[in-house]
Amino acid sequence: MPATKGCPMSVDRTAEEWGRSAMAIPGFALADGMMVMWSLDEDPVMPLRLTEDASTGHGYAGHPVWSGVRSDREHNDHEIDPEWCWVDPDDPATAGCLLALLQPPAADGYMSHVLPPSSALPKWRVYMTTARMGNVSGYGSSLGRACIAVAEALGCWPGGNP
């Protein structure tokens, strides 16, 4: 069995740094249920959960519908721009979406396993096997961070947009 390749970026960074990194990796795609942190200029950071299909529009999503914001158009029509937004890597729903983005097409590999923190290793661990890179692993203080670490090691989100 080949050695497991780990991501050198598996060290802890801020949630914003992890989230911005996730969105910058090729193949990233927003999904229903993801928590996105949104802030414009000096505005306070606002957590917004995507509640409708994010695959339409330009860029990441043209006009997503968010929960947790006022219903007037000015505040409910946030465009997803990586300059102002990042996914929350510590949100459980977002972590599930990131895990789905790691699932490669069947011919390219498979998700080996996900291990929660334990007394032996107090971090989440995600392992997968790919045809291109062999065994790849990522570690993080949350499942989302471990998924991002694997995507960084792979250089893409295998189950995302080409």
For the segment 34-54, what is each residue's pLDDT rounded down to a tens digit?
Answer: 888 877 766 677 787 776 654
CA distance 106 to 120: 32
pTM of the model: 0.79
pLDDT band at 26 (very low <50, low <70, confident <90, very high): very high
pLDDT of residue 3: 45
- Who wins on pLDDT, 107 or 69? 107
Q: What is the pLDDT confidence band of residue 115, given thresholds at 50, 70 and 90?
A: very high
Helices 143-154 and 15-24, axial angle in degrees (round to 10): 40
- pLDDT over 70, % of the chain: 69
**Structure tokens belonging to residue 69:** 């914001």
**When comparing pLDDT for 70 and 20, which is higher?**
20
* Residues 89, 144 contacting (CB under 8 angstroms): yes
Q: Are 7 and 146 in contact (CB under 8 A)?
A: no
Domain ranges of the chain: 5-154
Whether the predicted pLDDT of 9 surpasses 70: no
Instruction: Quick: pLDDT tens for 77-108.
Output: 455 666 778 999 999 999 999 999 998 777 67
Distances (CA, A) of 78 to 25, 38, 127: 22, 8, 35
Q: Of 160, 114, 158, which Cα lies nearest the Cα of 139?
A: 114
How far apart CA 10 and CA 97 sit, in angstroms, is 19
* Average pLDDT taken over every residue of the chain: 77
Q: Sorting pLDDT into bands at 50, 70 and 90, what band is 1? A: very low
Which residues neighbour 119 within 8 Å (Cβ) at sequence distance 6 or greater? none
